[in-house]
C-alpha cells in the first residue's frame, strides 16, 4: 500500500486515531444492524415511532415542508423498488418466456425476489427519516412553500405511480407478497 492512502493509515504507515475511531464506529453500527435483522416487527415499530416524532416536530415548528415532501418522494421510490421484481419481465426479449409465478399444480415454485429486499427497504427508510430530522435543525432547509400544493402533488404522484405499478403487476402476473410454497391437498 502507498503512504497516506484512504484506508485510515497515517503518513508513517500506522493507523490514525481518527481512522481507527470511525472504523470501530462502523463495526459497532454494523453489529447492531446484524443483531436487529431477525426482528422485523420491532425494526418497523421503531421506524414508525421515528416517523411520528418527525411529523410532530414538523407540525410544531410549522415549517420544513419541502424536506417532508422530499422524504415522501424518497419513501415512494423505495416502496416501488420494494414491490418490483429483481428481474423486470418487461425488459426480457420474449414476454411469454419471462419468469412468472406458478399457476398450476405441477409447475415449479419460484419465490418472488424483490429489487429492494425488506431489510434494505427498512434501513434506507429509517436513514431517510433520521436525515430529514437532522435537516429540521437547520434554518437553511426551511424553504417557504405553500404546503397544500405539495400535498396535492404528492397524492397525484402516488396515485399515478401506484396505478402504473399495479398495471405492471397484472400484465406480468406477479404478486410481490409470497408466503412460501402452496400445498395442494387431494380431495377424498
Per-residue DSSP letters for 89-105? GGGSSSTTSS-----ST
Residue ranges for the chain with pLDDT beneath 50: 1-4, 93, 95
pTM: 0.76
User: What's the pLDDT tens digit per position in 70-101?
Assistant: 999 999 999 999 988 888 777 764 545 555 55
List, in sequence order, every residue forming a beta bridge with 114; answer none if it has no partner: 85
- Predicted pLDDT at 161: 94
Which among 13, 91, 115, 183 has a CA at the least distance from the CA of 5?
13
- Predicted pLDDT at 8: 55
Amino acid at each position: 500500500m502507498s503512504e497516506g492512502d484512504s484506508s485510515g493509515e497515517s503518513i508513517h504507515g500506522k493507523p490514525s486515531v481518527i481512522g481507527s475511531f470511525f472504523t470501530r464506529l462502523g463495526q459497532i453500527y454494523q453489529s447492531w444492524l446484524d443483531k436487529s435483522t431477525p426482528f422485523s416487527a420491532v425494526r418497523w415499530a421503531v421506524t414508525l415511532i421515528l416517523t411520528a416524532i418527525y411529523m410532530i416536530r414538523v407540525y410544531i415548528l410549522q415549517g420544513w415542508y419541502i424536506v417532508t415532501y422530499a422524504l415522501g418522494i424518497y419513501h415512494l421510490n423505495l416502496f416501488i423498488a420494494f414491490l418490483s421484481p429483481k428481474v423486470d419481465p418487461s425488459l426480457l426479449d420474449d414476454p411469454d418466456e419471462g419468469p412468472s409465478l406458478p399457476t398450476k399444480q405441477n409447475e415449479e415454485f419460484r419465490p418472488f425476489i424483490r429489487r429492494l429486499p425488506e431489510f434494505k427497504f427498512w434501513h434506507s427508510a429509517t436513514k431517510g427519516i433520521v436525515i430529514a430530522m437532522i435537516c429540521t435543525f437547520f434554518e437553511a432547509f426551511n424553504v417557504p412553500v405553500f404546503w397544500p400544493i405539495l400535498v396535492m402533488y404528492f397524492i397525484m404522484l402516488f396515485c399515478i405511480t401506484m396505478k402504473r405499478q399495479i398495471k405492471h403487476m397484472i400484465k406480468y402476473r406477479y404478486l410481490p407478497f409470497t408466503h412460501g410454497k402452496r400445498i395442494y391437498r387431494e380431495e377424498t
